[in-house]
Each structure stands twice: as structure tokens, then as C-alpha cells.
């Protein structure tokens, strides 16, 4: 135990996955992809590090991340629709909301989706975009693209690390 919760989590997930049969590892990677801050990128990386073929590890982690993120988009869209139904006036936005809205206006859905993973998990970024009024279809599409891009990049990186140390 290192008293660093992130390092401990990644160590435990890696040790857990390493102790499973390969078919179970793929299922574990699907579940890892659903965990915020682990998602497709660290799920793919962990999978390749423990010896799962990258052509299995990446799709499993990506699928888990896509399922979790798309569920949050659907929930956020429903909540936003219910909250804004019949509403005419808006309250003054908070300082934090104005700051996020500024980045959203500057980068748009594609920029926030692709770059947001460096700061926040997609399960938080996607509902935030919906709350700011982004089109649901655009959020689905760009979050899906971002999840795949990050998953493939980290799966490739994990494969390079394994090759380097082999």
C-alpha cells in the first residue's frame, strides 16, 4: 500500500486482472472501462500489460466505457428535459458554470470530448455538455469517437511498453 489512492487502485486492478483466465480478463476489462478515471484508456493499458491481446483488450475497455458514458448521456438528457420543461427564465449561472461554458463555446463538442478526457472522465464530461445545451446526437458521436481514440492510443502505448520490457 502506497497511500496514493490512484496508484493503489491501478495496482489492485492490474493484479486482479492478471489473476484471471484470459476470457475472464476480457470481461474484467469491460467492467474496468465503466469505472470513471479508469475508462477505455487505462482499461486498454492494463489489458495489454497483463498479456491480453490488444485486439481484445481495446474493444473490451472501449465497449465498457461507451456503455457507461452513453447511459449517463441518456440520463442527463432526460433530467435536463424534465428540468427545463415549461421554464421561461434562467437564473444567473454560477462562476464555475460560466467557466465551463466558456471552454465549451471556444472548443465546441468535438474539442471538449477529445480533450476533456485529460481532465475529467467521460461519464462527467458528457452530462455536463448536455446540461450546457449541446445537441445530444453530437455528444453521443464525439464522445464515442473520443473513447475509441483514447482507448486505441493507450492500448498501443501498453503494447509498446510490453515490447520494450520483453
Cell of 115: 480533450
Cell of 143: 464522445
- What pLDDT sits at residue 135? 93
Convert the pLDDT of each residue in 43-69 to its tens digit.
999 999 999 999 999 999 999 999 999
pLDDT confidence bin for 126, thresholds 50/70/90 = very high
Cβ-Cβ contacts under 8 Å for 17 (sequence gap 6 or more): 25, 28, 29, 32, 46, 47, 50, 52
pLDDT confidence bin for 123, thresholds 50/70/90 = very high
Cell 501498453 found at:
158
Cell of 156: 498501443
Cell of 41: 484508456
Predicted confidence (pLDDT) at residue 104 exceeds the cutoff of 70? yes
- Specify whether the CB–CB gap between 73 and 136 falls below 8 A: yes
Q: Where in the chain are the domains?
A: 5-80+93-165
Cα–Cα distance list, 70 to 65, 113, 155 (Å): 8, 13, 21
Convert the pLDDT of each residue in 70-102 to its tens digit.
999 999 999 988 888 877 656 677 776 677 678
Sign of CA dihedral 43, 48, 51, 55: positive
**What global pTM score does this model have?**
0.88
Lowest mean per-residue pLDDT among 33-47, 70-84, 98-112, 148-162:
98-112
- Specify whether the CB–CB gap between 36 and 69 falls below 8 A: no
Predicted confidence (pLDDT) at residue 129 exceeds the cutoff of 70? yes
- What pLDDT sits at residue 75? 95
Amino acid at each position: 500500500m502506497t497511500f496514493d489512492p490512484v496508484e493503489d487502485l491501478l495496482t489492485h486492478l492490474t493484479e486482479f486482472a492478471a489473476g484471471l483466465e484470459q476470457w475472464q480478463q476480457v470481461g474484467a476489462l469491460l467492467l474496468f472501462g465503466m469505472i470513471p478515471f479508469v475508462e477505455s484508456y487505462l482499461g486498454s493499458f492494463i489489458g495489454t500489460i497483463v498479456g491480453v491481446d490488444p485486439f481484445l483488450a481495446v474493444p473490451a475497455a472501449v465497449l465498457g466505457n461507451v456503455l457507461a458514458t452513453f447511459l449517463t448521456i441518456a440520463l442527463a438528457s432526460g433530467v435536463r428535459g424534465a428540468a427545463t420543461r415549461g421554464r421561461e427564465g434562467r437564473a444567473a449561472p454560477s462562476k464555475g458554470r460560466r467557466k465551463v461554458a466558456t471552454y465549451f463555446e471556444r472548443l465546441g463538442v468535438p474539442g471538449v470530448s477529445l480533450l476533456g478526457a485529460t481532465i475529467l472522465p467521460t461519464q462527467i464530461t458528457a452530462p455536463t455538455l448536455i446540461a450546457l445545451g449541446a445537441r445530444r446526437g453530437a455528444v453521443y458521436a464525439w464522445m464515442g469517437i473520443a473513447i475509441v481514440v483514447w482507448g486505441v492510443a493507450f492500448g498501443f502505448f501498453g503494447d509498446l511498453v510490453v515490447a520494450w520490457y520483453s
